[in-house]
Amino acid sequence: MKFAIIAHDQKKEALVRFIQDHLDEFSKHTLYATGTTGLRVSTETGLTVHRFKSGPLGGDQEIGALVANKEVDAIFFFRDPLTAQPHEPDVSALLRLSDVYDVPLATNEGTALAVITYYENGGLS
């Protein structure tokens, strides 16, 4: 499976901690990430992460292209709803694509736990 991982600045630490808590499962999958998030996850977990540009520089759109080409199975996007994002249109487009292509999208730790538990329990098998 292929997972996309993204986090706004105020949520990067929470995403890294979440991945560390579920390292066994994340290590089984191909990981794609926006720039800074990918660097933090790779550095702090030792996982191999394919990094795109940072979100404001087009990384969200690059991941959106993967979604549109059916190359992503789930998205873990820890969003910060309390801080205005200069690239909000890109974020909205990615959220829309996840709905269009029926890709599970976890935008907070609660939904991320539901999605990762699904994969830990074998997914559709």
- Other CB atoms within a 10 A radius of the CB of residue 121 amount to 9
Binding residues: 8, 12, 34-37, 54-55, 87
Name the catalytic one among 21, 60, 99, 102: 60
Instruction: Report the C-alpha gap between 18 and 15 in whole angstroms.
Output: 5
Of the candidates 57, 62, 9, the one whose C-alpha atom is nearest the C-alpha of residue 32 is: 62
Report yes or no: 23 and 5 within 8 Å, Cβ to Cβ.
no
60 is catalytic: yes
Binding residues for substrate: 8, 12, 34-37, 54-55, 87
Task: Name residue, tokens 């794609």.
Answer: 32
- Other CB atoms within a 10 A radius of the CB of residue 86 amount to 8
| Catalytic annotation, residues | 60
